[in-house]
Amino acid sequence: MNLHILDSKNTLLNKFISEIRDEFIQKDSMRFRRNIERIGEVMAYELSKTLVYEIKTITTPLGTKDIALPKKDIVICSILRAGLPLHNGFLNYFDDAGSAFISAYRKHISPTEFEIKVEYFASPNLDGKTLILVDPMLATGRSLVSVFEGLKKHGTPKEIHVACVIASTQGVNYVTSHLPQNTKLWIATVDDQLNDKDYIVPGLGDAGDLAFGDKL
């Protein structure tokens, strides 16, 4: 698997990451959503450097110009509900991409045990497409792998990218061992630990609740 950790270099991305982690700043849900979106925009730009381009001739009022443009075969898939702001960030840059939406959540069997439930799919055909699977938090990696397995019935992508804002080391290792070998994994920042409930530490809390309010 091709792994890209974006905070390995000091850039403005670090400011957005610091603000989504800050327990005082993150109380502003609109700012939290916008920072996740901006992180998505940064990640989309970095990812765009690896795509396939083709020369297109553009006509201006005064002549023509050949420009290398990415092929229009991208589908962005987000995991509801926390993935929506990150999805929007990618869609701001890949504005002609298709969109897919998947629900996945932890159904707790006990306080420390859970299974992954995937119940809702809305996706275009993925055959031959570049699939970008986005989810803000990569904790255990089980949700993301379950979603990928569910997406298989919608076709076989030619290229797979996974984009997450914060990942645990364990989640990265799990995804690396369960997704196709040629998958490209884009992570804004990595934390080393999971707590006894499998939440990322220090992480940022629950991304879905911070973006959209508490759930039942």
Is 91:99 a contact under the CB 8 Å cutoff?
A: yes
- Answer yes or no: is pLDDT of 215 > 90: no
Structure tokens at 157: 């992508």
Determine how many CB atoms are found less than 10 A away from the CB of residue 99: 16
pLDDT of residue 133: 96
CATH for 2-212, options being 3.40.50.2020, 3.40.50.1100, 2.60.40.3140, 2.60.40.10: 3.40.50.2020
Q: How far is it, in rounded angstroms, from Cα 66 to Cα 57?
A: 4
Q: How far is it, in rounded angstroms, from Cα 14 to Cα 7?
A: 7
Closest CA to 172 of 206, 137, 208: 137
Q: In the chain, where are the structural domains located?
A: 2-212
Length of the chain counted residue by residue: 216
Instruction: Please state whether beta strands 130-134 and 74-80 pair in parallel, antiparallel, or not at all (unpaired).
Output: parallel
Q: What's the pLDDT band for 146 if we cut at 50, 70, 90? A: confident
pLDDT of residue 198: 86
Q: How far is it, in rounded angstroms, from Cα 24 to Cα 32?
A: 11
pLDDT in tens, 90-105: 999 999 999 999 887 6
Count CA within 13 A, CB hemisphere, residue 151.
30
pLDDT of residue 197: 83
Number of H-type helices and E-type strands within the chain: 6, 12
Give the residue ranges of DSSP H helices in 103-158. 142-151
- Answer yes or no: is pLDDT of 174 > 80: yes
- pTM for the model stands at 0.92
Q: How far is it, in rounded angstroms, from Cα 179 to Cα 59?
A: 42
Q: How far is it, in rounded angstroms, from Cα 120 to Cα 122?
A: 7
The stretch 40-62 carries a mean pLDDT of: 97
- Phi/psi for 195 (5° steps) reads -85, -170
